[in-house]
Chain A
Amino acid sequence: MNTTRVTWQLGQGAGWRPQLDGAIARADGLGFIEVVAEAIGAHALPAGVATAMQRGLQVVPHGVSLSLGGAERPDRGRLAHLASVAQRVGAPLVSEHIAFVRADGRESGHLLPVPRTREALDILSENVAIAQDALPVPLALEHVATLVQWPGAEMDEATFVSELIERTGALLLLDLSNLYANAHNHGYHALESLERFPLERIAYVHVGGGCFREGVYHDTHADPVVPGVLHLVEELFSLTDVPGVLLERDDDFPPEAEFAAELEAIAGAVRHGSEHRVRA
């Protein structure tokens, strides 16, 4: 097991997408961007990503297709690609999901949850170890938002994620929108759950937008960040300091001013939470 210590500071981040290139290039105070590893070609980096690197922003490759929670061992080719992107952008770390995206040769097109069982933990731990061996930098694991849950859960999400982080020595990519979504849709208390995640293992935090449809919260990344998620940002920073917070927007891209305002709202929540912590 290779336990990685969190030693770097990332600051405020944004998920780089071609449609946000201008908004990210002109955003104030960004410390890092995240690139979807599968969207990066085998040779050249997108111009906007290269420019961001020249400006001194750190770049974190974010994988979406390793299927670490799948029954198959992670694919060597996909791992090699993720490793290559990490090297080319000089990444301090990479991140992937606690999820499966394919089964029996069929692609889901999105991240699906794994059962919260000892058996799933065994398989996940082994897959994560294979990935860690193939990667040149530390790996952070992100828990996903899910509308559907497996029956027969042996533990709750915070315990499951803590166990996995403990066993593999991986870092945690805490997604506060996913936490909010799961708590809302599956009827538990987000803050109580937040406190039981391994907060000292956080590499960075994701925040994304979403919307409510018929009482169900959808983690769309195509809508503004809801107040309940900003509140969790504040609560998190009142509990602990965190190396970075990143805004994810994947669709229905807003005007630049709106994007900048979202970043500022997150920074505000970080400041408020930190002030509480320092005073306490």
Chain B
Amino acid sequence: MEASTVSAPDREAYAARQAQLLDALLRGDEPPPGFDAVQAGAAGSSLRRKRGRLVALAWPALALELGDTFATRFDAFARAVAAPRSGLPLEDGLAFARTLQARAELGDEARAELLLARATLRRRGVFVAAAWLRRPRSRLLVVARIPRLGTLHRSLLRRGRRAG
């Protein structure tokens, strides 16, 4: 193969055009000049749907809780918030779940899932958090992540009974 045939400025302009298209698709904005808006809209929806599908698989309780509304809610979230650099659906879903939690729209099963995800995604140091959950039964869920031990969780039932 011959040495580099493309000079650096060409790659820069090319990068800018790709970034422009990518941003428009991800956010659902008007595409750059020359693109068909209907095609771009379909392509953008498809990207957000694929992203949402991966999040739903990583967050089964959240997906179950949102049911048919998952797709439209995730689409709205995905237009506003870029996927994490890690590309991890668990981390992507954490940001999504937090937006729902901030609006008090998260049910107890999904809140439990959120605590576990926060612990799992913690990369250094000790993580301990607890949440009082009412469903499927009243309990205090305590989640901890300790280096070298991994993620631990215990549900403390009312009247002091313990369960795993």
Contacts and interface: CB of A to CB of B under 8 A. Distances in A.
Given A110-B50, A149-B39, A122 B5 contact: yes
A251 B16 CA distance: 33
A265 interface: no
Contacts of B36: 148-149
Q: Kindly state the interface size class of chain B when it binds its partner.
A: 35 or more
A104 B24 CA distance: 13
A206 interface: no
Contacts of A120: 14
B66 interface: no
B53 A107 contact: no
Given A1-B1, A129-B1, A148-B43, A108 B34 contact: no
B131 interface: no
A106 interface: yes
Contact of B35 (A72, A100, A148, A251): A148
Contacts of B35: 148-151
A213 to B, nearest CB: 9
B142 interface: no
Contacts, number: 96
B14 A71 contact: yes
B21 interface: yes
Contacts of B1: 1, 126, 129, 132-133
B14 A109 contact: no
A148 B40 contact: yes
B83 interface: yes
Given A106-B19, A110-B46, A218-B46, A123 B51 contact: no
B14 A147 contact: no
Contact of B18 (A71, A107, A110): A71
Interface in B1-33: 1, 4-6, 10-12, 14-19, 21-23, 25-26, 31, 33
B6 A126 contact: yes
B34 A151 contact: yes
Judged by DSSP, the binding face of B is helix
Contact of A148 (B15, B23, B33, B42): B42
Contact of B25 (A70, A108, A132): A108
A147 B46 contact: yes
A129 to B, nearest CB: 4
Interface in A70-110: 70-72, 100, 102-110
B156 interface: no
B82 interface: yes
B85 interface: yes
A103 B31 contact: no
Contacts of B23: 106
Contacts of A45: none
B34 A104 contact: no
Interface of B: 1, 4-6, 10-12, 14-19, 21-23, 25-26, 31, 33-36, 39-40, 42-43, 46-47, 50-51, 53-54, 82-83, 85, 87
Given A104-B22, A148-B42, 14 more contacts: A71-B15, A102-B22, A103-B19, A108-B22, A109-B54, A112-B21, A126-B6, A148-B35, A148-B36, A148-B40, A149-B35, A151-B35, A152-B34, A218-B46
